[in-house]
């Protein structure tokens, strides 16, 4: 009985895999185009992260020049808090950018596979 169950499960998996592999030839260009759209989307999201990184690097650089008068008026701890704030955002944005670029790379690879390249 157990062997029959395994055989039926194996057959079901084989049929499912075979049907997945048999994409209609007319669908391939559309699926490839969809992957290329995703490449542009993820590259755009990575560019957005570049803007955030640049903005916060600049903010961190200019904060002391703009707001620090002396230690009595602006405590050093406030400067450190701002630096930590900007560093956290910069690090998160860099990680997101890397993830977005990795996703774009995967979709490029998948589109190329579908196009037979």
Instruction: Give the model confidence (pLDDT) of 55-111 as tens digits.
Output: 999 999 888 777 766 676 777 788 888 899 999 999 999 999 999 999 999 999 999
Instruction: Give the model confidence (pLDDT) of 11-25 as tens digits.
Output: 555 565 554 555 566
- Return the percentage of the chain with pLDDT > 70, whole number: 74
CB 116 within 8 A of CB 79: no
- Angular region, 95: left φ>0, alpha ψ -120 to 50, beta rest: alpha
CB 111 within 8 A of CB 37: no
CB atoms within 10 A of CB 86: 19
Q: Is the pLDDT of residue 4 over 90?
A: no
How high is the pLDDT of residue 43? 97
How high is the pLDDT of residue 27? 81
Furthest-apart CA atoms within the chain: distance in Å: 83
């Amino acid at each position: 009985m157990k062997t029959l169950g395994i055989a039926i499960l194996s057959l079901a998996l084989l049929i499912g895999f075979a049907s997945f592999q048999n994409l209609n030839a007319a669908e391939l260009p559309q699926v490839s185009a969809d992957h290329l759209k995703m490449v542009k989307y993820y590259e755009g999201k990575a560019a957005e992260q570049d803007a955030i990184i640049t903005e916060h690097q600049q903010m961190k650089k200019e904060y002391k020049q703009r707001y620090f008068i002396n230690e009595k008026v602006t405590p050093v701890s406030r400067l450190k808090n701002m630096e930590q704030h900007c560093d956290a955002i910069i690090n998160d944005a860099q990680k997101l950018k890397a993830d977005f670029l990795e996703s774009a790379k995967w979709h490029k690879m998948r589109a190329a596979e579908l196009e037979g390249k």
